[in-house]
Structure 1
Amino acid sequence: MRMLPFFLLWTLLNSTTAFSQQTANKPEREQWFMDMGLGMFIHWSVDVQLGAVISHSMAGASEQYLQRFTTELPQTFHPKKFDPEEWAVLAKLAGMQYVVFTAKHHAGFCMWDTQTTDFNVMHTPFKRDALQAVIAAFRKQGIAIGLYFSPEDFYYCYQHDIPIGRMQHPQHFPANNPGLMAYDKAQVKELLTRYGKIDIIFFDGPAEGLKEYAWELQPDIVVTRGQMRTPEQELPDQPVPGPWEACFTMGTDWQYKPTNDPQKSGTEIINMLIETRAKGGNLLLNVGPKPDGEIQTEQDALLRELALWHLANREAVAGIRPWHIIREGNIWFTCAKDSSAVYAFVSGGEAWKYGERKELVLKTLQGSSRTKVSVLGFGGQLVEYKKNFDAQVYVENTPIGLVISAVNGQRFYTNNKWPNPVVLKIEQVRYRPYTDHSTRAELEGAK
């Protein structure tokens, strides 16, 4: 009889544990996510054949349009040049440590072999589980796997006579629509039980009920949108505490847009990455493969420019944290996680030409006799074709700040006109605070 209370207590404790629900990302997984720095977003669905905005042309569309969209487009989806291993190799070169692929966008078309609906990639001439191929290719390159999933589902709404839009009708929210919630959960279960460990899930829409279910299925998964700040096409003015992710296109659209789509320059993309990391966020940079499965030439070229910059400067943007101040004027900062080094991003191009020496005064850095400065990627000994040229880095601690003299000496282009930032690694240095708030504001400047 004396064993009964202990048994009841044991049962109660275990019951409580069994029914407790995870309601947030694990802190250690959030720290892991913050280390990633850069990810590849891939928008690709059945309507890529039209070069239209992904999914959204269904919103407010006529019955005839919806009928053609849902029945005719799957009949012609056949990307004969689909090679996700090429995507993954390019992502790795560019420094992307995770991928987020559109498993299901708002249209409801599923890019995997699902049992929940015939509106999926297996019911096309392609007849291949695209998601499985993407996951295998990126895992092979050691890149973490993320899935984009829309809780809203335009095809479900179309089948159930619900007006199609984005969070404009109560039935657009799974929490208000038991049928849609069950449908979404069945799909999330497939995604999180058939493909091994999924590192990240991006719920683009009302995530209540679904993110908890995702954590139930895979407790280590990191929920980005739906749990953390994920601004699109803009950056916050100041650092954001904790994990966050900026989502940007290279051109003007997410999915492939064949016309009227000017792309950003490589320098703009690199500067965007630097600013995002200086403010503590990750950059999720989008590519929109063509209907045949190839990454469009312009975006491929931009990623290769990013890859060249990354080959020299990777340590300044991966596994780092924000410094005490995000920048001095146009010089941005990041900091090694263990505070052993500060990285200063200095404009290149016309502002600092190849083979030239430049002097800098960093007013917020306090050095010592042990302070060491190097140029990432450059050995600091020789500049090609220049005889008796002093390429050494000099550093001196002064009352007005840390004075650095360095040479931009690494040759990236034949014409020597590499337009992208040069990164200084500054070791054994401390923050030199400014108590005057107006001085700090002046240093950080206005964008």
Structure 2
Amino acid sequence: MNEPMARTWCIFFYVKRKRGGFVFILTRNINQHTIMRHLLTFCLGILLFPTLFAQQHAEQDHSKYVVPTDPQVQQKLQQWQNVKFGLLMHWGTYSQWGIVESWSLCPEDEGWCERRGPYANDWYGYKKAYENLQNSFNPLDFNPDKWAKAAKAAGMKYVVFTTKHHDGFCMFDTKQTDYNVMKSPFGKNPKGNIALEVFKSFRAEDFMIGAYFSKPDWHTPDYWWPYFPPKDRNSSYPPKKYPEKWEKFKAFTYAQIQELMRDYGKMDILWLDGGWVRPFSTIDTAISWQKTIPFDQDIDMPKIAAMARSYQPGLLVVDRTVTGPYENYVTPEQQIPGHYMPIPWETCLTMGDSWSYIPKENFKPARKLIHILADVVSKNGNLLLNIAPSPQGDFHAEAYDRLQEIGKWMDTNSEAIYNTTGDNSIGTQGKLVFTHKPDAVYAIYRAEEGENLPAKIQIKNLQLDKKAKISLLGSKDPLKWSNENGVISITIPEKTAKIVPNSYAWVFKIVKNS
């Protein structure tokens, strides 16, 4: 390690309960004075480690991934894997309260379902007040062209927008329910059909277009049937016992997806959330949250996918966590796999702390976001970065700042990101991660804040021809290198280091045969 010796280094595993199970947070760079403060958490993690490690392993065991057989889907999947970097947006009426998206409606004893405010102790009153937010939703600053241009400048190339979250409020002009944006005050605005306008703006900037759609719907009485008050996130009644009610819900879901696939222009991705709505036979009992699914909630994905692709040939269908032919790529949430994965995958991650808008966000520094992007791509994945619009219809100013900073880095270094494959041969080496093209290897050095470009970089496990050439992206000068006992040593002159100063991550392009 090259970290300052004045710092005490330890590694802790934090164990954090999450909506989809458990997440390990690996923390290093812990100052001596904070070690004791976290010791109790560490000990708890050790006690739970065997169980939770099995849980985490199961979350990332994708050995049953089903490769698509449709040539058009294969082609679209390759296109998606090449673009690497996308924007996710969670937006709905919940932004007006600055609370978690949908989950405060869910009657589960979990931290993310906590209710606050005058109706906190009255679930029925709370649900009514929450749904009445439709009557005041009026985001007059809504300008999707601004978002699309900022995202493009940051180097993003695809977008996934929430057309409907679990609360059932539709950000598009659906004919299946009045619980939609067109019935809000903003519906009278020329841009009232929000999803349509978002897709148009991003399509004009050559983005691949994705529609987020929640399979569960906590507003429609065909899912949460008022006759049986809901106990949790699942249907409030057993579908097998009330098949006519469930068939109505299936028809409702099918019709809404049909509207999106038929009426909203060219679509590339149908991103389905709410993985507890699934055939009972697909439940993986090694995953804790899936063990809580009480009954079959099959909505007939073969029929939905066939319909969707009849309007959108080659459409990628992402039925999250439901391993099989309708999970065309997998989506680890708020985490990065610890190793290269040969299948198509995407880390969905928040730029701040929350998926939904909160008045005061804690945005990750641009340096960290760039390092995350490099790490994800080096492991063969895509990064889908979430930014949440405000109730007025815009991002935090700080979010635009982050996008601009990322864009400046991408202006110089994007060839190490786009159209690359991850590294399964060299491996992560300290601050270095690697990506590959047929004729080149890219070594991405993730610099710490205030760090200067080292005078020498060493790389193991890399075989080079004597004619190989190495350069630093942002500089035209070739770099001298040597092979020292099987280790490639790259020398960086001081004048070259000054050409590309203060970078968040430096990229060395290694052309194996020139």
TM class by shorter chain equals 0.7 to 0.9
Which one of 148, 164, 172 corresponds to residue 112 of structure 1?
Answer: 172
CA deviations 1:86-110 (Å, max 9, x no partner) are 1000110111110000001111111
Aligned to 2:474: 377
Which one of 437, 440, 444 corresponds to residue 345 of structure 1?
Answer: 444
Structure 2, gaps ≥5 residues long: 1-67, 108-121, 279-299, 321-326
Task: Return closer, same or farther for 1:379/1:23 CA change in 2, 3 Å cut-off.
Answer: closer
Aligned to 2:464: 367
Provide the rounded CA distance (Å) in 2 between the counterparts of 1:346 and 1:159: 51
Is 1:63 paired with 2:124? yes
CA deviations 1:307-342 (Å, max 9, x no partner) are 111111111111110122332222100001xx2010
Provide the rounded CA distance (Å) in 1 between the counterparts of 2:125 and 2:465: 73
Task: Return closer, same or farther for 1:172/1:419 CA change in 2, 3 Å cut-off.
Answer: farther
Task: Return closer, same or farther for 1:351/1:78 CA change in 2, 3 Å cut-off.
Answer: closer
Provide the rounded CA distance (Å) in 2 between the counterparts of 1:421 and 1:83: 32
Aligned to 2:381: 281
Q: Post-superposition shift, 1:350? A: 5.2
Aligned to 2:185: 125
Secondary structure at the counterpart of residue 275 of structure 1:
helix
Specify the structure having the higher radius of gyration (Cα): 1
Matched to 1:308, the amino acid is: K
Aligned to 2:271: 202
Secondary structure at the counterpart of residue 498 of structure 2:
coil
Aligned to 1:444: none
Which one of 198, 205, 214 corresponds to residue 308 of structure 2?
Answer: 214
Provide the rounded CA distance (Å) in 2 between the counterparts of 1:118 and 1:256: 24
TM-score (norm: length of structure 1): 0.81
Aligned to 2:233: 166
Q: Is the 8 A contact 2:214 2:273 kept in 1?
A: yes
Q: Is the 8 A contact 1:342 1:429 kept in 2?
A: no
Q: Is the 8 A contact 2:426 2:460 kept in 1?
A: no
Which one of 318, 326, 329 corresponds to residue 430 of structure 2?
Answer: 329
Aligned to 2:215: 151
Q: Post-superposition shift, 1:160? A: 2.9
Matched to 2:401, the amino acid is: A
Cα RMSD (Å) of the superposition? 2.5
Which one of 171, 184, 190 corresponds to residue 253 of structure 2?
Answer: 184
Q: Post-superposition shift, 1:29? A: 2.1
CA deviations 1:61-113 (Å, max 9, x no partner) are 7111111222x211111111100001000110111110000001111111111
Aligned to 1:14: none
Q: Is the 8 A contact 1:287 1:295 kept in 2?
A: yes
Which one of 488, 492, 496 corresponds to residue 402 of structure 1?
Answer: 488
Secondary structure at the counterpart of residue 366 of structure 1:
coil
Task: Return closer, same or farther for 1:427/1:172 CA change in 2, 3 Å cut-off.
Answer: farther
Which one of 494, 501, 506 corresponds to residue 422 of structure 1?
Answer: 506
Q: Is the 8 A contact 2:85 2:384 kept in 1?
A: yes
Q: Post-superposition shift, 1:428? A: 1.3
Q: Post-superposition shift, 1:410? A: 3.6
Secondary structure at the counterpart of residue 307 of structure 1:
helix
Q: Is the 8 A contact 1:367 1:396 kept in 2?
A: no
Q: Post-superposition shift, 1:400? A: 2.5
Task: Return closer, same or farther for 1:167/1:219 CA change in 2, 3 Å cut-off.
Answer: farther
CA deviations 1:205-240 (Å, max 9, x no partner) are 236523444334423111234303211111111111
Provide the rounded CA distance (Å) in 2 between the counterparts of 1:223 and 1:408: 45
Q: Is the 8 A contact 1:30 1:222 kept in 2?
A: yes
Aligned to 2:366: 266
Q: Post-superposition shift, 1:351? A: 7.0
Is 1:38 paired with 2:38? no
Aligned to 2:403: 303
Secondary structure at the counterpart of residue 145 of structure 1:
strand
Secondary structure at the counterpart of residue 294 of structure 1:
coil
Q: Is the 8 A contact 2:90 2:389 kept in 1?
A: yes
Task: Return closer, same or farther for 1:263/1:357 CA change in 2, 3 Å cut-off.
Answer: closer
Q: Percent identity?
A: 33
Q: Is the 8 A contact 2:272 2:318 kept in 1?
A: yes
Worse-matched range after superposition: 342-351 or 196-205: 342-351
Secondary structure at the counterpart of residue 177 of structure 1:
helix
Secondary structure at the counterpart of residue 153 of structure 1:
coil
TM-score (norm: length of structure 2): 0.71
Task: Return closer, same or farther for 1:126/1:192 CA change in 2, 3 Å cut-off.
Answer: same
Aligned to 2:417: 317
Provide the rounded CA distance (Å) in 1 between the counterparts of 2:239 and 2:167: 13
Q: Is the 8 A contact 2:76 2:268 kept in 1?
A: no
